[in-house]
Structure 1
Amino acid sequence: MTESPSALPISRFAVPSLEDMPADIRERILAVQEKSGFIPTIFLALAHRPDEFRAFFAYHDALMERGGNLTKGEREMIVVATSGANQCLYCVVAHGAILRIREKNPTIADQIATNYRKADITPRQRAMLDYAMKVSKRAEEVDDADFAALRAHGFDDDDIWDIGGIAAFFAMSNRLANMMSLRPNPEFHMLGRQPKAK
């Protein structure tokens, strides 16, 4: 007899209770819960290693929350495309939900996770994802021609760093999530698929 999906643990590793977490981590998790209505399992799983939790989210926020020429939706496109290529269930599901919300588009995440080359995106976004995928899967092949192609679409050096940094960070995140067998929250699956009720 197989276990139902809801009975499976969220991680292969021990997950501390909120009461046992350091105060700063517990406060951050409770703030996320208040904003979203649930606690994304990545927060609980990474609380297993408090120093790494802090470092992970500091770098995540530095890449995903900064200003610049990439929209928040485009940043999520990078995460979803590269996570799909790296077969990371958690990141595709969780960041797919965020992408749908950011872009106000219920189909964009499924398109990008499956094959961004066929997705309804702009040529600029396609060039961005071409480069992100190369950094994620074949970073040793990145060369000046990649930078020239991005500059032809109006990306500057900060943008190019952002694209590469997000792809590289989530390549690491994808591997951690797969190592942990991190399970996405059921709530993510439906987010952004239907217009919000008024």
Structure 2
Amino acid sequence: MTETRQEKPIPPGQWRSDGLPPVMAIDLPPQEPLPDGVATYFDKCEEKLGLVPNVLVAHAFDADRLNAFAAFYNGLMLAPSGLTKAEREMIAVAVSAINRCHYCLTAHGAALRQLTGDPALAETIAQNWRAADLPARQQAMLTFAEKLSVSPAAMEEADRQALRDAGFSERDIFDIAAVTGFYAMSNRLASATEMAPNPEYHAMARE
């Protein structure tokens, strides 16, 4: 009787060839070679940030999926809005803290430190935003984002009115909800795949 030889499976996440830790715990290598548009996008990230965020690398197994994710992120976090970029990052960090998302807390904690120039404030928001010395506007914003994250079915007109009373427009309310919802999704995806933050984030904007 001849035994059938079985190949030993490659452990998930072991496809990195650059000596860096695996991006995530499921085995979805980027397309090879990267499509021109994706390669150009990654080059721009490297130029502007000094790295390619692992969340983008994780999506690079499918160029269409990556492009859709990047477009949605850029529209929410970087496009003109009544919310400042720092306020949008505050939402990202506060929501990620609620969901205990290691990747997003690390990556967006670094972004918030850079945007505010205040590492202590950013760290406090990551640990417990209610302990941070925030103006009433941002307290109202994060109160709304927290409730939407924890008990979305309990949202009511009083929650929206509290934002209006704090000076937010109708479009601002939509943007607060959209950013909150985006990180509800992103946190769960990162946690489900054990997505690893780029090591460089840990040291960014600490002084």
**Matched pairs, number:** 189
Measured in 2, the distance between the counterparts of 1:18 and 1:150 equals 44
Residue 113 of structure 1 aligns with which residue? 126
- How far is 1:163 from its partner? 0.5
Measured in 2, the distance between the counterparts of 1:29 and 1:138 equals 37
**Is residue 174 of structure 2 the alignment partner of residue 147 of structure 1?**
no
Q: Residue type matched to 1:66 in 2?
A: A
Q: Residue type matched to 1:54 in 2?
A: N
RMSD: 1.6
**Gap regions ≥5 residues in structure 1:** 1-5
Measured in 2, the distance between the counterparts of 1:55 and 1:17 equals 16
Match of 1:123 among 126, 133, 136: 136
Q: Percent identical across equivalent pairs?
A: 41
- State whether residues 16 and 48 of structure 1, in contact with CA within 8 Å, keep that contact through their aligned partners in structure 2: yes
**Is residue 88 of structure 2 the alignment partner of residue 75 of structure 1?**
yes
- How far is 1:113 from its partner? 1.3
Match of 1:49 among 57, 62, 67: 62
Residue 87 of structure 1 aligns with which residue? 100
> With structure 2 as the length reference, what TM-score do the two structures score?
0.86
Structure 2 residue matching 1:172: 3-state secondary structure: helix
**Is residue 175 of structure 2 the alignment partner of residue 166 of structure 1?**
no
Measured in 1, the distance between the counterparts of 2:149 and 2:130 equals 16
Residue 29 of structure 1 aligns with which residue? 42
**Gap regions ≥5 residues in structure 2:** 1-18
Q: Residue type matched to 1:105 in 2?
A: D
- State whether residues 85 and 113 of structure 1, in contact with CA within 8 Å, keep that contact through their aligned partners in structure 2: no
Q: Residue type matched to 1:152 in 2?
A: D
- State whether residues 30 and 58 of structure 2, in contact with CA within 8 Å, keep that contact through their aligned partners in structure 1: no
- State whether residues 42 and 182 of structure 1, in contact with CA within 8 Å, keep that contact through their aligned partners in structure 2: yes
Q: Residue type matched to 1:188 in 2?
A: Y
Report which of the two structures shows the higher radius of gyration computed on alpha carbons.
2
Residue 194 of structure 2 aligns with which residue? 181
Measured in 2, the distance between the counterparts of 1:139 and 1:81 equals 16
- How far is 1:161 from its partner? 0.5
